[in-house]
Amino acid sequence: MTDLATRRATARTGALRRAAPALCGYAAVRALGLLVLAVWSAARGKSAYTLLTARWDSLWYARVAGGGYGYEVRLPGGDVHADLAFFPLLPWLERLGAAVGPLSYADAGFAVSLLASLAAAWGIFAVADHVYDRRAGICAVLLWAVLPVGIVQSMAYSESLFTALAAWALYCVLTGRWVGAGALALLAGLTRPVGLAVAAAVWTAAVLSLLRERRAAAPAPLTPAPGPGRRVLGMLLAPLGAAGYVLWVGHRTGGGPLGYLDVQAGWRNGFDGGYAFARFVGEKFTAFPSALAGAGLIVGVALVVWLYVTGVRQGQPPALLVYSGIVTALALCASSYFGSKPRLLLPAFPLLLPLALALARLRASRAALLTGGIALASAVYGAFWLNGSGPP
């Protein structure tokens, strides 16, 4: 090994050792969730593994992995559910996993999600550790793990994969690795439509960085400034994944640049500024006890907004604010299935940083007791949820 390779290997080992408590804590929370799900499902005569890998969107991803795009379901009401709504990176990885080992597409999707969830936890730690400190990083990871819909992180869905790519892209932005940030943003854009939030974060940070350098160089024009080439390359790479897939769908359907929106409309997904969601919440107050659910939804939305505003006040880096702001806006202001909104907010991990800071200030024993209690409640809720209505 060269000296450079040795230094890089040493740095990676040190980074992994620094993140180890967060990763071990995350693995313990997810193991608890899977154990409770297995026991709950067995008591109801269901297969926990089937719930994780072969229901809802998992079936669509596996179908794309096995046969490519082109499948659609026409519903009696006229809606058309087309598999083009699902971005391709997870199916590609499922196909790769099935090709290199004795795995079905569903098995490969489950394996990808497990590995990606650990990568996401590490990325979240890296971001929080860089912005604040190690203790805040550990707390941020644990809070992400114990979210009420955290069981989705272990499903053959794209949330874990997307969050991993987004977190590491943001870390690259924060540490000035512009080409890496652009490449990871490209991959995030091939994973979910909200990948454009990662591209926007890359662009925001790059532009602000260039402006700061220009202002700093103005008093001393003879002093050479770092070239902008790598930043520009990162900016060019960042939107290519999402834009490329959307344009390909438009070409395939004949709908032009906006053809993907027509595909989403077939699923009754769209962006209406939150009108449909507000109407859904308002309808809850027409009877009791549904009014309690309506009040809970209002409290939940208020908490999300408060967390974002608190992040602004605490001086989170602009890249994090742009990313979490777009993810939150798309989740809350889309006219999609309302039960999906908590799941759609999973990638918005910077919202958890104010809570992570507060948790980090507690004594270790108190923080562990609080986190453990929430983890148990989350595991029970996840098992109840997947054995009931579950995510669409």
Per residue in 302-320, pLDDT tens?
999 999 999 999 999 999 9
Q: Mean pLDDT of all residues in the chain?
A: 92
C-alpha torsion sign, points 25, 350, 146, 345: negative
Question: d(Cα 278, Cα 297) in Å, to the nearest integer?
Answer: 10
pLDDT tier, 356 (very low <50, low <70, confident <90, very high otherwise):
very high
| The predicted structure's pLDDT at residue 2 | 60
- Cβ(268)–Cβ(336) below 8 Å: yes
Greater confidence, 219 or 89?
89
Stretch 189-213: mean pLDDT: 95
- Cβ(243)–Cβ(301) below 8 Å: no
Q: pLDDT for 253-268, tens place per residue?
A: 999 988 999 999 999 8
- Cβ(93)–Cβ(108) below 8 Å: yes
Which parts of 44-177 fold into alpha helices (H)? 48-53, 57-67, 89-100, 105-131, 134-145, 159-174
**Cβ-proximal residues to 164 (8 Å cutoff; 6+ apart), any chain:** 116, 117, 119, 120, 123
Asked if residue 4 has pLDDT above 60, the reply is no
**Spatial CA neighbour of 165 closest among 209, 130, 199, 137:** 199
| The predicted structure's pLDDT at residue 275 | 86
Asked if residue 331 has pLDDT above 50, the reply is yes
Q: pLDDT for 145-170, tens place per residue?
A: 999 999 999 999 999 999 999 999 99
Which parts of the chain fold into alpha helices (H)? 3-43, 48-53, 57-67, 89-100, 105-131, 134-145, 159-174, 178-189, 195-217, 229-237, 240-253, 259-266, 275-283, 290-313, 318-333, 341-344, 353-360, 364-386
CA distances from 329 to 97, 319, 321 (A): 34, 15, 12
| The predicted structure's pLDDT at residue 5 | 58
3-state secondary structure of 73: strand
pLDDT tier, 221 (very low <50, low <70, confident <90, very high otherwise):
very low
Stretch 75-85: mean pLDDT: 91
Asked if residue 232 has pLDDT above 60, the reply is yes
**Spatial CA neighbour of 195 closest among 205, 176, 181, 210:** 181
CA distances from 138 to 5, 19, 133, 240, 356 (A): 28, 8, 9, 33, 8
Name the helix (H) or strand (E) containing 248. Answer: helix 240-253
| Residue type at position 6 | T
Asked if residue 11 has pLDDT above 90, the reply is no
| The predicted structure's pLDDT at residue 229 | 87
| The predicted structure's pLDDT at residue 298 | 93
pTM to 2 decimal places? 0.94
Over pLDDT 70: what percentage of the chain? Answer: 94
Task: Give the lowest-confidence range in 30-39, 55-64, 136-145, 332-341.
Answer: 332-341
Question: d(Cα 279, Cα 274) in Å, to the nearest integer?
Answer: 9
Asked if residue 186 has pLDDT above 70, the reply is yes
**Spatial CA neighbour of 380 closest among 33, 139, 82, 75:** 33
| Residue type at position 243 | A
| Residue type at position 138 | I
Name the helix (H) or strand (E) containing 358. Answer: helix 353-360
Question: d(Cα 370, Cα 364) in Å, to the nearest integer?
Answer: 10
| The predicted structure's pLDDT at residue 289 | 84
Question: d(Cα 91, Cα 105) in Å, to the nearest integer?
Answer: 8
Burial 264-285 (b: 16+ CB within 10 A, else e): bebeebeeeeeebbbeebeebe
pLDDT tier, 240 (very low <50, low <70, confident <90, very high otherwise):
very high
3-state secondary structure of 74: strand
Question: d(Cα 199, Cα 327) in Å, to the nearest integer?
Answer: 12
| The predicted structure's pLDDT at residue 82 | 96
Rounded to 5°, the CA angle 323-118-57 comes to: 70
Greater confidence, 134 or 276?
134
Asked if residue 226 has pLDDT above 60, the reply is no
Q: pLDDT for 92-127, tens place per residue?
A: 999 999 999 899 999 999 999 999 999 999 999 999
pLDDT tier, 220 (very low <50, low <70, confident <90, very high otherwise):
very low
pLDDT tier, 357 (very low <50, low <70, confident <90, very high otherwise):
very high
Asked if residue 364 has pLDDT above 80, the reply is yes
Question: d(Cα 337, Cα 335) in Å, to the nearest integer?
Answer: 7
| The predicted structure's pLDDT at residue 10 | 65
Asked if residue 7 has pLDDT above 70, the reply is no
